Amino acid sequence: MSTKEIQFKHLFEENKDRVFRICCSYVRSSHNRDDLFQEIFTNIWKNLASFRNESHVNTWIYRISINTAINYCRLQNNNDRRCQEIKQDILSEDDVNLARKTILENELKTMFVAINQLPVTEKSIISLVLEGLDHARIAEIVGISEGNIRVKFHRIKKKLKQMMEEQKNEL
């Protein structure tokens, strides 16, 4: 196995869950998520030799993931439907957990429908926050100041809360 293959395998293992969650934030169907996931890691493989260690490798992977997801969604022309459902296959199906699962699924669907309606930059910021990144890392990935990230995040939270309430009232 070559050095590049070893490095890629390590990057894949370290980042596959993060990248999958980003895929869930941008596309609806499991088939499209799988396609996007594969496309992201294909782009990581293709660009691995060009990584210059000017930023943290995870920052570089997030940038590739988000840019690939945005381009994928544009090409799929799926603007009205992406981010409307997320599967919760890991939850058990017994009677006690079924009600919890249904509530959680509905809340997640509502949240991702609202996220789907956000402009691209706001969607990227909230996706990275959901990944647990701090404002400094998000600023580095998105390419705007940390202070601007804080302001935008506050506004995005407010907007999402309002959008989710409106969705609940429509039902």
Kindly state the DSSP code that residue 167 receives in the 8-state scheme.
H
Alpha-carbon gap, residue 91 to 45, rounded angstroms: 33
DSSP assignment of 1-69 equals --HHHHHHHHHHHHHHHHHHHHHHHH--SHHHHHHHHHHHHHHHHHHGGG--SSS-HHHHHHHHHHHHH
pLDDT band at 86 (very low <50, low <70, confident <90, very high): very low
Q: Whole-number mean pLDDT of the chain? A: 80
Q: Find the mean pLDDT for residues 132-157.
A: 91
What is the pLDDT confidence band of residue 102, given thresholds at 50, 70 and 90? low
Whether residue 78 has pLDDT greater than 90: no
The pTM score is 0.55
Domains and CATH numbers, the chain: 1-82 (1.10.1740.10), 84-171 (1.10.10.10)
pLDDT, tens digit, 9 for 90 and up, residues 116-133: 888 988 988 988 888 888
Q: Over 60: is that where the pLDDT of 80 sits?
A: no
